[in-house]
Amino acid sequence: MPSTPLTSVADLTAAVLRGDYGPDPESLHAVGAFWVRQSTQFPGTDTKYRNYYLVLRVESGFGGCCVERDQLDSVIAEELSGSSVAQLLRDERTPVRIAALDAYLSLTRPHREAEQAQVFMLPHGTPLQRAKARDQAIAGLLDIAPGMRVGLIGVVNPLVDAIRARGGICLPCDFNMQRTADGTEVARDMAPVLAQADLVIATGMTLSNGSFDEILAAVRLRDIPLIVYAQTGSAIVPQFLGHGVAAVSAEPFPFSQFSADPTPIHLYRDAGADARAAA
């Protein structure tokens, strides 16, 4: 493990390349590369979620990165298999680096061996039932007091509902949505949200668009909690617990929307943050 605090994804990547987290990345290879296009629209709504994933397999580890529609060409899945993890961690394309880092850490730091992780099984059910169960678990990771302003970077409507059900005031921010299901305007610029929020909930996709480091720096400067719900980078974000991240809902590949059967998410809390809050 690195001896200095992590302040960015680049710090973590450099530590992995040094061998601080396990085997030399030069000795490991991406044996599989996948490109997934997926959309979701719940009955009775006019919101369609469109997701595009790059997934890499390194031995028994999988790494996933959700990207914007035109961020990568799907042919990338045909090109990356066979590359060493070290080569992928140095790739000029951010989503490739994130998927490779996630795959490496899912191999060397699996959730099943993490002492801080609590397994929560999403129930068998419809996509909406499973999404609501997931988002209730995420909203419950930290206490949301009535009137608390909760910045939501990456809007999922059931999570908006879960925040409001706890009395929180949701401050939504998203590149791809203008309004939430109940008509609340969604900001495109996250700077005002980060400046006003008492607590921030962000999606792992902030890793793929490069905004995670900015969010991390903002919450550390203001000393406010950051919760991350991560399909993208589910093995990456837990490494930042105690370094700006207070809690994580980590959902590794294969993701919950690809199954109706019970599937796990892994809930992490920074024990140090809980102790500081109680002091």
pLDDT higher than threshold 70 for residue 18: yes
Please determine, for residue 277, whether its predicted confidence score (pLDDT) is greater than 60.
no
Q: Given this model, what pLDDT does residue 141 score?
A: 87
Q: Which two tokens stand for residue 155?
A: 């809007």
Q: What is the pLDDT of residues 143-175, one digit of tens each?
A: 889 999 999 999 888 788 889 988 999 999 998
The confidence band for 3, taking pLDDT boundaries of 50, 70 and 90, is low
| Type of residue numbered 42 | F
The span from the CA of 149 to the CA of 131, in Å, is 23
Task: Give the residue carrying structure tokens 């809902």.
Answer: 249
Per mean pLDDT, which range of 49-63, 82-96, 200-214, 262-276 is the poorest? 262-276
pTM for the model stands at 0.92
pLDDT at residue 61 tops 70: yes
pLDDT > 90: percent of the chain: 72
Q: Domains plus CATH for the chain?
A: 9-110 (3.30.390.100), 112-278 (3.40.640.10)
Of the candidates 112, 109, 107, the one whose C-alpha atom is nearest the C-alpha of residue 32 is 107
Query: What separation in angstroms does the CA of 202 have from each of 114, 152, 161, 229?
Result: 22, 6, 15, 6
Q: Which residue has the tokens 């939430």?
A: 180
Greatest pairwise CA separation for the chain in angstroms: 53
Examine the pLDDT at 278 and tell me if it is beyond 50: no
Average pLDDT over residues 121-125: 95
